[in-house]
Amino acid sequence: MRILLSNDDGYFSQGLAVLAQALEELGTVTVVAPDAEKSGASNSLTLDRPLMVRQAPNGFHYVNGTPTDCVHMAVTGLLEQAPDIVVSGINHGANMGDDTIYSGTVAAATEGYLLGIPSIAVSLVTLSGAGRHFDTAARCVLELVQRIRARPLPHASLLNVNVPDRPKADIKGFRITRLGRRHKAEPVIKTANPRGETVYWVGAAGPAADAGEGTDFDAVAQGYVSVTPLQVDLTHYQQISTLGQWLEG
Ligand code: MN
């Protein structure tokens, strides 16, 4: 099995290393990841400068670009054969609900999906960002990929996986979920740099607003691995008819 692995935390991140090691059980793992942290990069492509690929002593490839650049470049030029699956992560922190819009982790998997390859984004749900049980998330992804290898997915799929930060023995199982919703984000934080100039930091994501039954938030809170099938079409189908009437009215 040929596995392409990427992330948005950078090629040096712990989550990536743990996942690469686990997936090597299943075949050839090629890592192509950003050379710096790109969390929040979403689906951006770098079009204003050339990209370079370098290789770290451990064999990981790193790129001066975004998560999307990494997967795009790997699949359309770098790899001799298309991968059987694209895996992105393990992200240091949750990607649930509205996070998926901003996430570079999800974006790397989305790029694989758009290029016709089954793709999985995986995130470890931590409060502080200092995750402890990356091994748990890696074992869960390994199980999922093994299942996909044994029994191919029924559709070309993009799966968003969130894993509780706890020992594997304390994971209750897998749950299919829908995305929840968050409240609107916290305000930007205004501060001063050492030169006395005003600068701003983007604030934290809001807390969960819709964390009800069936959501990713709920599954993870109950100790399950959340698996959400994603699609890329942003069309709001229920509004087509009413908006059409409004336009003509
Ligand atoms: Mn990240």
Cβ neighbors of 12 (< 8 A, separation 6 or more) are: 56
* Cis ω for the linkage preceding 90 (within 30 of 0): yes
**CA 239–ligand 1 middle distance (angstroms):** 33
**CA 157–ligand 1 middle distance (angstroms):** 22
56 in a structural domain: yes
Report the predicted TM-score, pTM, of the whole model to 2 decimal places: 0.95
Cβ neighbors of 225 (< 8 A, separation 6 or more) are: 140, 161, 162, 163, 164, 171, 173, 174, 175, 219
CA 58, 64, 66, 68 dihedral sign is: negative
**CA 93–ligand 1 middle distance (angstroms):** 7
**CA 99–ligand 1 middle distance (angstroms):** 11
17 in a structural domain: yes
200 in a structural domain: no
Number of compact structural domains in the chain: 1
Give the chain's residues under pLDDT 50.
none
159 in a structural domain: yes
* Cα separation, 91 vs 188, whole angstroms: 23
224 in a structural domain: yes
The candidate with the shortest Cα–Cα distance to 112, out of 71, 79, 78, is: 71
187 in a structural domain: no
The candidate with the shortest Cα–Cα distance to 225, out of 181, 169, 162, is: 162
Place of tokens 């749950």: 175
- 93-127 pLDDT, tens digit per residue, is 999 999 999 999 999 999 999 999 999 999 999 97
The candidate with the shortest Cα–Cα distance to 177, out of 105, 97, 107, is: 97
pLDDT score recorded for residue 128: 67
**CA 103–ligand 1 middle distance (angstroms):** 7
pLDDT score recorded for residue 129: 59
**CA 249–ligand 1 middle distance (angstroms):** 46
**CA 39–ligand 1 middle distance (angstroms):** 4
* Cα separation, 48 vs 249, whole angstroms: 44
**CA 149–ligand 1 middle distance (angstroms):** 27
pLDDT score recorded for residue 183: 82
88 in a structural domain: yes
pLDDT score recorded for residue 172: 98
Structure tokens at 138: 């890696």
Length of the chain (residues): 249
CATH code of the domain covering residue 152: 3.40.1210.10
**CA 41–ligand 1 middle distance (angstroms):** 9
pLDDT score recorded for residue 146: 96
198 in a structural domain: no
Structural domain harbouring 120: 2-180+211-233
